A and B are shown apart, each in its own frame.
Chain A
Amino acid sequence: MKFQRWLQAHTTAITIASALLIAVGYLGKWLGSTWGYAVPLMVASIIAAVPIAIHAYQALRVKVISIELLVTIAVIGAFAIGEYNESAIVTFLFLFGNFLEQKTLAKTRASIKSLTALAPTTAAVLQPDGSTADVDIDDVEVGDVVVVRPGDAIPVDGVVATGTGYADEAAITGESRAVSKEADTPVYSGTILSDGYLQIRATKVGDDTTFAKIVELVEDAQDTKSHAEKFIDRFAQYYTPAVLVIAAVVLLASRDLRLAITVLVLGCPGALVIGAPVSNVAGIGNGAKRGILVKGGTAMDGMAKVDTFVFDKTGTLTQGNTTVTDAAYYADAAGARQLVAALEATSNHPLGSALVAFAGGSTNLPVTDSQVIKGQGVTGTIAGQHVCAGNLKLVQAHGVALTVAQRAKLAAMQATGASTVILAVDGTVTALFAIADAIRPEVPAALQALKASGAKELVMLTGDNAVTANAVARQLGIDTVHAELLPADKVTYVRQLQQAGRTVAFVGDGINDSPSLATADIGIAMGSGTDVAIDTSDVVLMRSSFDALVHAYRLAKKTVLNTRENVAIAIAVVLFLLVGLFAGFIYMASGMFVHEASILVVIFNAMRLIGFGKSAKLDLRQVQTTD
């Protein structure tokens, strides 16, 4: 098989030689020499046909009827009837087309190549004597300490043992930004130390690192076929042998070998087979560069069809941590903050920690007799005063009455969707606090962009109470809200929407909403590269960003459109060739030319997807400014 490898290595040279020989042949014809015409073309046919024939033979050995086989038979046929110019041009065009295909396909695969190029191959492992040794990346062990210098790619997942610096984590998050690193902060393989010096204790190495998993996921995704692609594959499996049969029938019926071999060449399913996969590869690559992992052609198709987005509120639409958003004081403000913080520090309620943070940290005021009343609040004694902090029920139980003005303020706070805490000292209200999970500022514009891109309904599911949920939904521009849900209820709502004929995408943080992610037509895990999220979702957004969500939606629609364009081009070409054959203006060489040209056309069409998105970002800003 050395000969074959030699051929493979020299295919380009063979293609050039074949082109030169064809030129010499036509020069001979122009000079009026019959031999000067025929001989170079014969030689050109033979040298170019050999690599094609070998491929055909090998495919046949594993029972695959390949395009190469059709071409080989056609060339032998052309040779037999003395059409040396046709055979020479067909073989040349086939090889040249393959060459161009290889070059252009490499461009559509460039995104993933640029990812893997980031992966370092060796690591500088710290030795017991203080020196470092360059170790192959596969031989680094968990627990080893590796040294990373400025400009180097970090070779392992781990935590900083000593040193400080800034790392560019674009490889993981798709966002190029310097992230500060110091002792005990986590670092990721594939990210670049832009500044500083780090010693890192490895926690994950080789194929277990987050980066390796991302690369593997993208590689698998680019080969996970959509329904359309699977259909075309099956089609091609029967189509190619069918062309062979049809050519044989044509030969028997017409006794015209020339016509039969023309059918063989025209029948090659070139653009059809390459058209759909190449769009997906370019689309998935585009996403991967922006920290958007779409798990294959099926996920891409599904994402494009989504008409209903379902969001889990906490951590997705909102920041996920509660803060004090409003306060009203009826006594010394600083004193009130100190008292409520001291009291709340004794409970572990989420509202409590927001109040402690609001007071600027825990206070040293001693609290005695503190008591947590579930669903109401906390009471206790501080510096001889009886203090209670909680809801209306709690303070009323302690004989505290609110003035009309205080009641109005409380109602106003609750109307914004905030939870409220009333602070009472010795039977008098001294302060009201509004605590809410603030919405993420970029969300309203992004949701509007989703709608502009074709989403029909935006649904929010939450475990929060209805008042809070509705207030948040109003601020965000959400269409439908379902509040006070348990995690299991969320799955039920997703199912109900599906039964109503919707194509549902569920957007969650991937931490405790895996069932919903798995149930939805398309599960979108946001801002989390955890294994569970990667496993159960169809689209992973490495960065918790709504820009990325909008981009993913538009990209999916664009990619599916691109696939359809390519299939349409391929079918149009086949029809054109058929008409040409019957009308008599298409022969072997011109047919092969049209084929190879159409393959390049579909690849170039797909390449447009690689650059998609620069304008999409602009659009989003426009939405924000007009808002």
Chain B
Amino acid sequence: MMNKKITMQLDALTCPSCLTKIETAVKHTAGVGDVKVLFNAAKVKAEFDDQQVSAEDLSTVVSKLGYEVQGVKVKEL
């Protein structure tokens, strides 16, 4: 059950392929449902299950790709 929604604010994104990269990496993390990467707003929005994966884990996935996560917001679904 996806019970949380995370919004991560990143540094400005410039290449459309960054978008695919981030989207694929986050989506392939266990416990993650819908993923949306907003290219122009430089935001990653994802639904996840906090039993399987934490917000910090997801933030690490993105920063490991080389993108600085500037802020994280988590909301109950």
Q: Are B68 and A59 in contact (CB under 8 A)?
A: no
Contact indicator per residue, chain B 7-29, by CB within 8 Å of chain A (1) or not (0): 00000101111101100110010
B53 on interface, CB distance cutoff 8 Å: no
A102 on interface, CB distance cutoff 8 Å: yes
A475 on interface, CB distance cutoff 8 Å: no
| A192 to B66 Cα, complex, angstroms | 37
Q: Collect the chain B residues with CB atoms within 8 Å of residue A112's CB.
A: 40-41
What is the distance, in angstroms, from B31's C-beta to the closest C-beta of chain A? 18
Q: Are A62 and B20 in contact (CB under 8 A)?
A: yes
Q: Collect the chain A residues with CB atoms within 8 Å of residue B28's CB.
A: 62
Chain A residue with Cβ nearest B75: A207
A102-B14, A207-B75, A223-B38 known; A1-B66 Cβ under 8 A: yes
Chain B residue with Cβ nearest A51: B66
Interface of B is mostly: mixed
Segment 126-141 of A: residues with Cβ below 8 Å from B: 138
Q: Are B21 and A106 in contact (CB under 8 A)?
A: no
Residue count of chain B within 8 Å CB distance of chain A: 24
Segment 95-148 of A: residues with Cβ below 8 Å from B: 98, 101-102, 105-106, 109, 112, 138
Q: Are A64 and B24 in contact (CB under 8 A)?
A: yes
Interface size, A (range): 20 to 34
Chain B residue with Cβ nearest A274: B16
What is the distance, in angstroms, from A142's C-beta to the closest C-beta of chain B? 15
User: How many contacting A-B pairs (Cβ < 8 A)?
Assistant: 74
| A338 to B14 Cα, complex, angstroms | 70
Q: Are A62 and B24 in contact (CB under 8 A)?
A: yes
| A105 to B18 Cα, complex, angstroms | 15
A246 on interface, CB distance cutoff 8 Å: no
A63 on interface, CB distance cutoff 8 Å: yes
Q: Collect the chain B residues with CB atoms within 8 Å of residue A220's CB.
A: 38
Q: Which of B12, B28, B40, B75 has the most CB of A within 10 A?
A: B40
Segment 52-67 of B: residues with Cβ below 8 Å from A: 63-66
Q: Collect the chain B residues with CB atoms within 8 Å of residue A223's CB.
A: 36, 38-41
Q: Collect the chain B residues with CB atoms within 8 Å of residue A64's CB.
A: 17, 20-21, 24
Q: Are A58 and B14 in contact (CB under 8 A)?
A: no
A277 on interface, CB distance cutoff 8 Å: yes
Q: Are A68 and B66 in contact (CB under 8 A)?
A: no
Q: Are B40 and A281 in contact (CB under 8 A)?
A: yes
Chain A residue with Cβ nearest B67: A8
A98-B14, A273-B16 known; A1-B40 Cβ under 8 A: no
* A-B complex: 9 closest residue pairs judged by Cβ atoms: A62-B24, A219-B41, A66-B17, A222-B40, A4-B66, A223-B38, A102-B14, A64-B20, A1-B64
- Listed in ascending order, the chain A residues whose CB lies under 8 Å from chain B are 1, 4-5, 8, 54-55, 58-59, 62-64, 66-68, 98, 101-102, 105-106, 109, 112, 138, 207, 219-220, 222-223, 233, 236, 273-274, 277, 281
Known: A219-B41, A222-B39. 5 other contacts (CB 8 A): A55-B15, A138-B73, A223-B41, A277-B16, A277-B40
Q: Could you give 17 example pairs across A and B, Cβ below 8 Å? A: A1-B63, A1-B65, A1-B66, A5-B68, A8-B68, A55-B17, A62-B24, A64-B17, A66-B17, A67-B17, A68-B15, A102-B14, A109-B12, A222-B40, A223-B39, A274-B16, A281-B40
